[in-house]
Amino acid sequence: MLVVAAAVLVTHFTVMNTVVVGIFHDDGIYTVLAKSLADGTGYRLVSLPSSPVQLKYPVLYSGVLAILWWLLPSFPENVALFKAFNLIALFVGLLLSYRFLRLNTTPSRIDAVTYVLLIGGCPLVFSLTRLPLSDTLFFALTVGAVAFQGVRGTPGTIALATVAAAAYLTRTVGVALIVAFVIWFILDRSYRSLLIFLGVTGALISPWWYWQHGQRNEGVASILLEYYVAYKPESHASVVVWSDWSKAVELVWANLRYAVESLDAAVFLGVVPGLRLVACLLLLVGIYQSLRERIGVHHLWLPLYVLIVVGWPWHPGRFMMPVLPVALLFLIRGAQAVEWWLRGMNAHWSARTVAWIPRIPTVMMTLLVILWLGLYVRADPRLEVRPAWERHESYWPGFTETFAWVRANTAANDVLATAHDPLYYLYTGRQGVRPWLYKPSTYFYPYKHGFADLGDVDRVRQELDRLGVRYLVIDPLDGYAEEESSASHFEHLLESYSAKPELVFTSSDGRHLVYRLP
């Protein structure tokens, strides 16, 4: 499997963009936090006016990037280093996924190859790994914990607790992994291991909890900044249900459909007629076979994790990355069960025929993934074979023109209003903020009929004035949740000023505009 994982890694290196970071927005935030930590400023979003403390994203991934920034402090030359770390995390995650597969079944060679290729080469994993986002590290930590769930003894339990705590300190949703291990130890009556696990995870996580609690009284300078610094627990479906059960049901049902669609698209189940149905049947058989043998941590983790993810008012597609190894394990277990059944029912068939028939779906998916990778490597970034944020790389010359104009024609303390605020801070040094209110419950709900509510224009303008925003920068937002509503929002925002804002810059491609606000 080293060869297969290495081949995936080489493909990633082939298409790695070593210049662009921040177009996805969250990748820009992680990079800004890394810079702040490396510069000794603290865990702050220095790209925002007032540089508020970050309480939303746990510190581990940004801390790793900060170490890399300290080793190579020249930006954007260090972008390649950040992305290379993600590739290493993916490589380790693929090897751990293979161990997880071996822990739960005895795979044939074709099972092992298709399993690793489907995880490492699918669009979901491939695209997210190319960005400095915490997803790949979280994936590696999660699959690592479930791959070594069977370790025994005090050292093994301490190691498991350390990995589970690291997953939580990478993404808050890692709490599902900790709870799954707690339940598993209780079911196994391993009470000594349970106490060790709780003690170690508590010791590792409590400093972050303590620091979050201690920073809550600092306050935020504007409601436009609230989205950046902390989650709002009251927006979760489990809380919403008490005030508006129909809204909570709508959110969960839509997110379940989005989650299934994301996994479906990750392995191209909808491309071949009937493939989705056959794969679903194999998946159900695999789940049944797996549960018949024994309950593992992954059986407990999966429903807990999905419950948290689908209850949050945001598209869950990105969160399906750590689900893939478990889902594909069940798919392979289902194929193996069908193989055993065929051997008993059809004694006249050859062993090769019996082995290949139930594996046709996984082989077809693997071939489709390989075909997609070939198109991806050769494709122009503007083509639909790549996700929206990567297609925006085709607009990079326009971004660089705008960066140059901003650096040359604005003061160092001027504040920008832009959808890509961390991006502009990294490449120009100017602080900025998104010129709208964050209302995620309107972005994707009702199912596929959401329309992003960006807030009352007059209220937004007042907040921009309070923050001292001097320029409005309008860039392409093709494919983003705010794409449809942003055009009218920007138009009304410009009209809300009594004195007409001045258009002071237009990029050569006409896609990037800068207005000086009165």
The structure's pTM equals 0.95
Q: Which pair of tokens denotes residue 499?
A: 């004195």
> How crowded is residue 181: how many other Cβ atoms within 10 Å of its Cβ?
26
Q: Which pair of tokens denotes residue 26?
A: 């969250």
Contact, 363 vs 370, CB < 8 A? no
The stretches of 410-482 forming alpha helices (DSSP H) are 421-428, 457-466
Q: Phi first, then psi: what are they for 53, rounded to 5°?
A: -70, 140
- pLDDT value of residue 302: 98
Query: What proportion of the chain, given as a percentage, has pLDDT over 70?
Result: 96
Query: Residue 440: in which H helix or E strand, if any?
Result: none
Identity of the amino acid at 44: R
Q: How confident is the model at residue 380 (pLDDT cuts 50, 70, 90)?
A: low
What is the tens place of the pLDDT at every residue in 85-109?
Answer: 999 999 999 999 999 999 999 999 9
What is the tens place of the pLDDT at every residue in 262-271?
Answer: 999 999 999 9
What is the tens place of the pLDDT at every residue in 409-456?
Answer: 999 999 999 999 999 999 999 999 999 998 888 899 999 988 999 999
Q: How confident is the model at residue 385 (pLDDT cuts 50, 70, 90)?
A: low
Distance separating alpha carbons of residues 169 and 57, to the nearest angstrom: 8
Q: How confident is the model at residue 234 (pLDDT cuts 50, 70, 90)?
A: low
**Range 25-29 average pLDDT:** 96
- pLDDT value of residue 227: 86
| Highest mean pLDDT of the ranges 162-176, 239-253, 335-349 | 162-176
Q: For residue 383, is pLDDT > 70?
A: no
Q: At a CB cut-off of 8 Å and minimum separation 6, what does 260 contact?
A: none
Contact, 97 vs 107, CB < 8 A? no
The stretches of 105-190 forming alpha helices (DSSP H) are 109-121, 123-129, 135-147, 153-170, 175-187
Distance separating alpha carbons of residues 114 and 19, to the nearest angstrom: 32
Q: How confident is the model at residue 243 (pLDDT cuts 50, 70, 90)?
A: confident
**Range 242-252 average pLDDT:** 86
Q: Strand 502-506 vs strand 513-516: parallel, antiparallel, or unpaired?
A: antiparallel
Q: How confident is the model at residue 217 (pLDDT cuts 50, 70, 90)?
A: very low
Closest to 48 (Cα-Cα) out of 378, 503, 395, 417 = 417
The residue to which tokens 């979760």 are assigned: 236
> How crowded is residue 410: how many other Cβ atoms within 10 Å of its Cβ?
19
Contact, 62 vs 39, CB < 8 A? no
Distance separating alpha carbons of residues 220 and 230, to the nearest angstrom: 10
Q: How confident is the model at residue 212 (pLDDT cuts 50, 70, 90)?
A: confident
Output 153 or 220, whichever has higher pLDDT. 153
Domain ranges of the chain: 2-378, 391-516
Q: At a CB cut-off of 8 Å and minimum separation 6, what does 258 contact?
A: 315, 316, 317, 444, 447
Q: For residue 293, is pLDDT > 70?
A: yes
